[in-house]
Amino acid sequence: LGEIINVKDIVEKRKILIKERIERLKREEGITPKLAVIIANSEESSRVYVGRKRKMCESLGILEEEYEFSEKITTEDVLKEIERLNNYDTVNGILVQLPLFKHLDTSKILKAVSPTKDVDGFHPENFGNLIQGNGKIAPCTPKGVMTILKEIGVDVEGKDAVVVGRSVIVGRPMAAMLTNEGATVTICHSKTKDLISHTKRADILIVAVGVPHLIKENMVKENSIVIDVGINKVDGKLVGDVDTKNVIKIAKSVTPVPGGVGLTTVHTLMENLIDLTETL
């Protein structure tokens, strides 16, 4: 039987490092990092995610401000607010909580965030730098996955990595980061013809789809590392995209859901904020 990766311990360890960096910023530069969060939707889950980010900020001594808008808000209004926050010296990071109300222009809004305050790494400039292999700020979820791989001692160089899912938030930047580190990367998605033929070859399998237990034990390679990004609600319970209980019989290590990748996502957001604050 393989092991369930203890992501909680990894996060606790990294939190200590972040705290040290925050202390130094306060002590030597008189700066207390501040995150501004823009919420323009009516999704209940967004409130939960923002709540987690708020809590993490509080526990680390980071300032956090939320700007919540009603459905009457226009793209222009949001752009104006972002422009104001871009110019505020005391704001180090701006996070636009997705999804936005349907009538808002998400692409335009994400582009308006200054690349120097783009904690989520969604600005095309940061995304482009990432693809070119010299990105400093990368989207939190895939960056958190890279942290997990590093912390459990996986050297991705030369490995066959398969990423299932090609979203802008997870799959694509994940593939870019693995490529940058020297893995041979395959991206699978809803149009992939024979998913199992790809997943079965993966030394490192990363699944970000949103289909409960899509990945079964017959789909993974022996002794592989399986990272489950999926978060699905089934009968009121959270489950991932990986059938962990059975996959663990074949794989070497699997991340759990809940208590897996989700933990590193929030924590990586804080790392991005500190990176941006330090390069002021």
Q: Show which residues are catalytic.
A: 53, 97, 120
- List strand residue ranges (DSSP E) for 31-148, in order: 34-39, 63-68, 93-97
Rule CB under 6 A: which of 37-96 touch ligand NAD?
A: none
Contact at 8 Å (CB) between 172 and 25?
no
Q: Could you tell me which residues are beta bridge partners of residue 205?
A: 162, 226
Question: Which CB sits closer to ligand NAD, 159 or 166?
Answer: 166
Q: Measured from the CB of residue 20, what is the shortest distance to ligand NAD in angstroms?
A: 24
Tally of CB atoms within 10 A around 5: 24
Question: Which CB sits closer to ligand NAD, 72 or 191?
Answer: 191
Contact at 8 Å (CB) between 238 and 122?
no
Q: Measured from the CB of residue 249, what is the shortest distance to ligand NAD in angstroms?
A: 22
β 232-234/237-239 pair status = antiparallel
Per CB under 6 A, 165 contacts ligand NAD: yes
DSSP string, 184-243: EEEEE-TT-S-HHHHHTT-SEEEE-S--TT-B-GGGS-TT-EEEE---EEETTEEE-SB-
Contacting residue, 195, 196, 201, 238, with ligand NAD by CB under 6 A: 195
Rule CB under 6 A: which of 197-256 touch ligand NAD?
A: 208-211, 214, 229-232
Question: Which CB sits closer to ligand NAD, 33 or 230?
Answer: 230
Interacting stretch for ligand NAD, rule CB under 6 A, among 71-79, 158-166, 196-204, 216-224? 158-166
Q: What torsion do the CA atoms of 108, 87, 144, 179 make, to the nearest 10 degrees?
A: 60
Number of residues that bind ligand NAD (CB under 6 A): 25
β 34-39/93-97 pair status = parallel
Is omega for the bond preceding 258 within 30 degrees of 0, making it cis?
A: yes
Interacting stretch for ligand NAD, rule CB under 6 A, among 5-13, 19-27, 68-76, 259-267? 259-267
Q: Measured from the CB of residue 263, what is the shortest distance to ligand NAD in angstroms?
A: 8
List alpha helices for 88-136, DSSP H.
106-112, 124-131
Per CB under 6 A, 262 contacts ligand NAD: yes
Per CB under 6 A, 32 contacts ligand NAD: no
Question: Which CB sits closer to ligand NAD, 60 or 215?
Answer: 215
Rounded CA-CA distance 113/107 in Å is: 11
Q: Measured from the CB of residue 240, what is the shortest distance to ligand NAD in angstroms?
A: 8
Interacting stretch for ligand NAD, rule CB under 6 A, among 5-13, 173-181, 186-194, 198-206? 186-194
- H/E stretch holding 163: strand 160-164
Residues of this chain that bind ligand NAD (CB under 6 A): 141, 164-167, 169-171, 188-190, 192, 195, 208-211, 214, 229-232, 261-262, 265
